[in-house]
Structure formats: structure tokens, C-alpha cells
Amino acid sequence: MKTFSARKETTSPKWYVVDLSGKVLGRAAVEIANILRGKNKPEYTPHVDTGDFVIALNADKIKLTGKKWSDKNYFFHSRYVGHMKTYTAKELLQKHPDMLVKIAVKGMMPKNKLSRAMLTKLKVYATSEHPHVAQQPLQYELKSN
């Protein structure tokens, strides 16, 4: 029996809609990262992009456990001296609710060129409306709470 290895030409990505309202950020990010990588498919191949597109809605209604809203910090640097900005999770949620989810999913992906290409298939929106109706996305229910 030969080992199956998927190719980019043979894969056909699907579009999934994920509702993040009331979901814990880290647990939702793991499942979204698995969909982006294609680990939920039987033809998963680590070195080929076999993943699907994910539309994450209601990013402003995401939950964090414990005191992470005030204790978790996000750092951004413009590469100029003294230009490092620090935001708590609560401040980042108010300013850019989609960035909270994107940063969490990026942390769950492997650190290589392929994962950076896979991250372009993640579309995050703060509200429940999105412009991807033409792609006919399927509803995906997250298993985590």
C-alpha cells in the first residue's frame, strides 16, 4: 500500500462560518487553526495547504477566563526607538476585536511560510455580518465552550 500525499491541485477548499459569541478564545482558536491547516480532513498532508477558509463572526463577544482581560498584554512595535505600544486584552477588544482572534489563531499555527499563507484564509469580523455570501459558506459548530 502506498502512502497518500495530497497535492494542491487535487484539493478543493470549502468555506465555513464560525460563531464566536460566548466562546473561550484559546479553545476556539485551536479549532479554527485545525480547520485552516486541514487537520479535520482525512487527506491531511503537513507540507500541503489542504485547509479550508474560515469566516469568524462576533469577535467582539469572545470570552477570556480568569483575570486575562486585565492581566494579558499585547505588544506592538513600529521598529522605531521608544515606539512600543502595550494593550491589555480589554483595550485591544475595544480597539480591534478582530486582532484578538487573529493573534490567537496565529499562535496555534506552525511558524513557517506555509502557515502564513494559510492565515490569509482566515476572515474575522466583529459583527454577525460578512461579505462572503457568494461563497456559500457552511455553518461550523465549535465543539469547545
C-alpha cell recorded at residue 56: 469568524
Residue 76 lies in a domain: no
DSSP 38-93: TTTSTT--TTS----EEEEE-GGG-B--TTHHHH-EEEEE-SSTT-EEEEEHHHHH
CATH number (domain holding residue 38): 3.90.1180.10
CA dist., res. 41 & res. 51, Å (int): 8
* Coil, strand or helix at 32: helix
pLDDT 10s digits, 61-76: 999 999 999 999 999 9
CA dist., res. 142 & res. 145, Å (int): 8
pLDDT 10s digits, 104-114: 999 999 999 99
Residue 56 lies in a domain: yes
pTM of the model: 0.93
Boundaries of domain holding 125: 15-63+97-140
Instruction: Look at the chain and report how many structural domains it folds into.
Output: 1
